[in-house]
Amino acid sequence: MSNFLASVNQNFDKAAIHTGLPKGLLEQIKICNSVYQIHFPIKVGNEYKVIEAYRVQHSHHRLPTKGGIRFSQKVNQDEVMALATLMTYKCAIVDVPFGGAKGGVKISPREYTPAQLQKITRRYTAELIRKNFIGPGIDVPAPDYGTGAREMAWILDTYMQFKGGEIDAAGCVTGKPVTQHGIRGRSEATGRGVYYGVREAVSYKDDMKKLGLTTGLEGKTVAIQGLGNVGYHSASIFQKEGGAKIISVAEYEGAIYSEDGIDIDALMKHRKETGSIMDFPGAQNMDQRKKVLEVECDILIPAALENQIRNDNVDRVKAKIIAEAANGPVTAEAAEKLIKRGVMIIPDMYINAGGVTVSYFEWLKNLSHMRFGRMEKRFNHNTYMNLVNLVERLTGKTIGAKEREFLTKGADEVDLVRSGLEETMITAYQEIREIKKRKKKVEDLRTAAFISALNKISSDYLALGIFP
C-alpha cells in the first residue's frame, strides 16, 4: 500500500498554515466526502474474475465532481483517494468549477482483450449509475492512466442505454472521441498544458537566473518518463513547438539516451514496428528504465505514475526543473530535499491541469449542444477580409494569398480550445508565482499552488456562512 494520500495531505498541511483559515474549514476541505468501493464478477474464458473498483468524490463544494478513471493493477483505495483529492485543488487552481473525484479499476489492461475490457468498463459504469455516482450534474469521469477515448465512448454508450431521455447525457463523461460528442484538442490537452505551463515558468529571468539557466525553451535538454498520452504529447510539443531537445526517454520496456536529441515521432514509429523503444538508431540503451530520472538535464518530466522520486533516489536526481506531468511523482520527503537544493518543482496539480481544463470545455460543449466556433467563425473571417481589403485599398499594395489566409482565418474549435488552454495555464501560473513572491516564507511553487486553491475553495464555504 502506498502512502500517496499522506504525502498529498502533508503538502496540504504545509500550505494551510499560511492561510489563516479556521481549523474546521481546513478539515472540511481536506477530507474525502464519499468513497465508493465496488466488487463485481466478470467472465473471462471459462472463469469468473472478481474485479475490485473505486469511485471517490473528494469534494462536493462544487458540482459536478470531476476526475479520471485509472485502469492499473496497482489501484488501491489510498491511491484513488489521493488522486481525487488532487483533483479538487487542481480544478480550483485553474478555475474549473468542479469538485474533485477519481475512479480506479484494479486490472492490468494488457491482460485483457478489447472485448473483455469493454465488458469491465460497461459493468463498472452500470455500478456507478446504480449508486448515482455518474451524471452530467453529478460526477463526470475522464481518461487517466490505462484508459483513453475508447473507454470513454463505452461509458457514454452505457450511460445512454440507461438514461436515453436525458437531454444532457453526453456530458456524463469527457475525453470522448470527437465523433462521440468529444472535443478537438482533448487527447493532446494534458501534454499541451504541460508545455504552456513550463514555457511560462521558464520565461522569468529572475527565476531562471537562480537555476543557472537562460529564459525560453529553445535548446533546453529534457528527459521524459512514460510515453503514454501525457508523456508523448508533452515530448512532441516540447520538441516541435518549443524547440527543446529530448535527450532521454523511458517506457515500460526500458530507457534510452542521446546527447544529440531523440526525434519523438521517429521513436514512436520505431516502437510501433519493433514493439519497443530500445535499440533506437542514434541512441544508446540505458541499463535500467528508472535511470531516466537521474539524467543530467534542464527539465525532467515524469509522466508515468506516482512515487517515482523518493528518498532512495532523490540524491541522484540532477534536473534543474521537474515538471510533474504525472500525479504525485515526487514524494513529499523527496520534494523537501529538492527544494533545499534549489530545484524548481512545477507541481502536478497545476502543470497537468490541461486535461481537466479541456474536459471542462468539452462538458460545456455537450451542455450547449454546439461546436465551439460555429457561430462566429464565418463572421470573423468576413470581418478580417474586409479589413485586409481596406488595407490593400488604402496602401495600394497586395497582400499575398498565404498571408491573407493567415490574417483572415476565423477560429475553429481546436484553435479556441488551445487558446483557452493557453490562457488558463498562463493565468494560473502567474497567480501561483505571485503568491510565492508575496509570501516570503513560502519557498516552493507547490505550497503557493495549494494556497491559491485553498483561498478559492474556502471562499465558497465562507460565502455560505457555515464557517464564520
- Catalytic residue numbers read 102
Residue 85 is a binding residue for ligand NAD (CB under 6 A): no
Chosen residue from 7, 11, 85, 229 binding ligand NAD by CB under 6 A: 229
Kindly state the smallest distance separating residue 356's Cβ from ligand NAD, in Å: 7
3-state secondary structure of 77: helix
* First-last CA distance in the chain: 38
User: Closer to ligand NAD at the Cβ: 48 or 252?
Assistant: 252
Among 22, 177, 216, 228, binds ligand NAD (CB under 6 A): 228
Number of residues that bind ligand NAD (CB under 6 A): 25
Taking CB under 6 A as the criterion, the residue among 169, 170, 303, 457 binding ligand NAD is 303
Question: Using the rule CB under 6 A, is 301 a contact of ligand NAD?
Answer: no
Q: Which amino acid is at 349?
A: M
Closest residue by Cα to residue 353 from 195, 133, 460, 178? 195
Closer CB to ligand NAD, 147 or 408, in the complex: 147
Number of residue whose CB is nearest ligand NAD: 228
Site residues for ligand NAD, window 141-160 (CB under 6 A)? Answer: 143-146
d(CA 350, CA 453): 10
- Chosen residue from 9, 352, 357, 408 binding ligand NAD by CB under 6 A: 352
Specify whether the CB–CB gap between 326 and 308 falls below 8 A.
yes
Q: Is 250 an interacting residue with respect to ligand NAD (CB under 6 A)? A: yes
**Number of other CB atoms surrounding residue 45 within 10 Å:** 7
Q: Is 135 in the site for ligand NAD (CB under 6 A)?
A: no
Q: Quick one: which of 99, 136, 197, 226 contacts ligand NAD (CB under 6 A)?
A: 226
Q: Give the rounded distance of the alpha carbon of 151 from its chain centre.
A: 17
Contact (Cβ atoms closer than 8 angstroms) between residue 185 and residue 295: no
Residue 327 sits in the site that holds ligand NAD (CB under 6 A): yes
Q: To the nearest whole angstrom, how small is the minimum distance from the Cβ of residue 230 to ligand NAD?
A: 4
Closest to ligand NAD by CB, 129 or 156: 156
Degrees, nearest 5: CA angle 455-83-145? 135
Backbone angles phi, psi at 261, to 5 degrees: 105, 150
Residue 112, number of CB atoms within 10 A of its CB: 17
Which of residues 144 and 431 has its CB atom nearest to ligand NAD in the complex? Answer: 144
Rounded to whole angstroms, the Cα distance separating 199 from 397 reads 37
DSSP state, residue 319 = -
224 CB-side CA count, 13 A: 33
Kindly tell me which residue out of 304, 317, 322, 428 binds ligand NAD, with binding defined by CB under 6 A: 304
Q: Which is closer to ligand NAD, CB of 310 or CB of 404?
A: 310
* 3 state DSSP class of 417: helix
Q: Which stretch binds ligand NAD (CB under 6 A): 111-119, 313-321, 322-330, 439-447?
A: 322-330
Report the C-alpha gap between 215 and 173 in whole angstroms. Answer: 39
At 353, the amino acid letter reads A
Separation CA 94–CA 161 (nearest Å): 33
Closest approach of Cβ 324 to ligand NAD, in Å?
Answer: 9
CA neighbours within 13 Å on the CB side: how many for 305?
16
207 lies in the binding site for ligand NAD (CB under 6 A): no
> Pairing between strand 99-105 and 47-57?
antiparallel
- Shortest distance, CB of residue 327 to ligand NAD, whole angstroms? 4
Scanning 25-33, 53-61, 151-159, 245-253 for contacts with ligand NAD by CB under 6 A, the matching segment is: 245-253
* Residue 190 binds ligand NAD, judged by CB under 6 A: yes
- List residues binding ligand NAD (CB under 6 A): 68, 143-146, 190, 225-231, 250-252, 289, 303-305, 325-327, 352, 355
